[in-house]
Each structure stands twice: as structure tokens, then as C-alpha cells.
Amino acid sequence: MPALPTIAVLVSGRGSNLQALLDAIARGDLAVRIAGVFSDKADAPALQRARDAGVHAEAIDPREFPNRLAFDQAFFARVDATRPDLIVCAGYMRLISEAAVEAHRGTLVNIHPSLLPAFKGLRTHAQALAAGAAEHGASVHFVTPDLDGGPVIAQARVPVRPGDDVEALSRRVLEREHPLLVATVGLLAAGRARLDGDRILLDGAPLAAPLQLGANEGFA
């Protein structure tokens, strides 16, 4: 039997996206092996979720390093030691140095809670509400040195409803983040989607616009 594609997951907090990946693997809906979960926060609940599933999990404290570059060298040395085919930032809240990003170009992806290129950075749900957006959602993109600006592979959209506050809107988005991440990691791990220069190839053909998650939790 051929070996399963291997992924590493980077986390900083709650870990609900990590849990979605673990659950999909357990159900047999995602054919990957998580080789390790890595965090910049020792108290991230995500680490316990990994351990509960029997997955190696470790944290490295940035305060033990003189600067971002030194931390990233040590951190990614640990990640790379698991020889991942794909590295998934799932709520990893730390900026990654350009050197580490470039060293992992094409294998590093992130889930961001907005319909990129709209609402980069933090507090995206508040940004969407303040802008009066009619629609909001989440994107999975390749990480490039341009923060939240790398090519977008796939998105999930939700409506913004009258009366929404940050909590209601973030809950609606998060519910769609989980199937979005599972479906996108599935495509990437299967080698169907990949970065080619600045564009994405899907089944060998340039992707003109991000894939959109359908109601069936697959891509239309």
C-alpha cells in the first residue's frame, strides 16, 4: 500500500480547524497522516486535541530566541524533521519570516477568515461588519511573503445577516471553515492542486478563480 501523504499542522490556540482535520481522517474522509502539530504557544488547547488523537504535538517558545528568524529556524527545523508533504497553518497566529516562507514555498498553506483579498490581517469579522459587507467567509491560500496575499486555492462564503455581531458572524464562518479546510487539504495532499510560480494549477490547468465550497461540502 502506498504511504499516505504527510501533513504538519501549525496552531496557536483553540484548534477547531485541527479537530476538523483529525475528525475527517478518523471518519476516512481525508487520506492524509498528520505527522505532527506544532505551536508557538505551550498552552494552546490545540496541542491537547492532537495528543488525544495520538498525534505528536509540541510547542516552542519564541521568547527563548533572540529574533523571529532564529525562532523560525528552530521551529521549522522541528516541522521539517517530520518530512511533511504539506504544512497547514490552522490558526497559527505568528508572522512567519520571509526566509522560512520562501524555504517552504508551495508547501505552506493558511486558512484565513475572510474572502481574500478582502479583509486581510486581524479582526476580519469586525472589518466585514464595519464595511457593511453582504457576504463574508474564509479562504485557504498559499503562504507567500505578502501577508494574507498569496494565491487563493479555495473559499467558503456565508451571508452577513441583519443584526449580526462579531460572535454570530464568526460562528457562521467557522462552521464553513472546517469543511473548507478538509476539502482543500484533500485536494492538495492528493497532488491535484499545486502552486506554479504565482498561479495555482488544478489537475494541471491554471485556476482562474478560487474554488468555491458547495453545500455538499465539495467543490462545484
Q: Footprint of ligand GRF on this chain (CB under 6 A)?
A: 13-17, 46, 90-91, 111-113, 138, 174, 177
Nearer to ligand GRF, 39 or 107 (CB): 39
Nearer to ligand GRF, 90 or 189 (CB): 90
Q: How far is the CB of 88 from ligand GRF (least distance, A)?
A: 10
Residue least distant from ligand GRF (Cβ)? 91
Q: How far is the CB of 193 from ligand GRF (least distance, A)?
A: 19
Contact 185, 192 (CB under 8 A): no
Nearer to ligand GRF, 111 or 152 (CB): 111
Q: How far is the CB of 111 from ligand GRF (least distance, A)?
A: 4
Q: How far is the CB of 74 from ligand GRF (least distance, A)?
A: 23
Buried b or exposed e, range 63-78, using 16+ CB within 10 angstroms: eeeeebeebbeebbee
Is residue 141 annotated as part of the catalytic site, yes or no? no
Nearer to ligand GRF, 91 or 186 (CB): 91
Buried b or exposed e, range 115-127, using 16+ CB within 10 angstroms: bbeebeeeebbeb
Sheet holding 135-142, edge to edge: 57-59, 33-39, 6-11, 86-89, 108-112, 135-142, 152-159, 211-212
Q: Which of 104, 112, 136, 141 is catalytic?
A: 112
CB neighbour class for 98 (10 Å; exposed up to 12, middle 13-18, buried from 19)? middle
Q: Which residues form the catalytic set?
A: 112
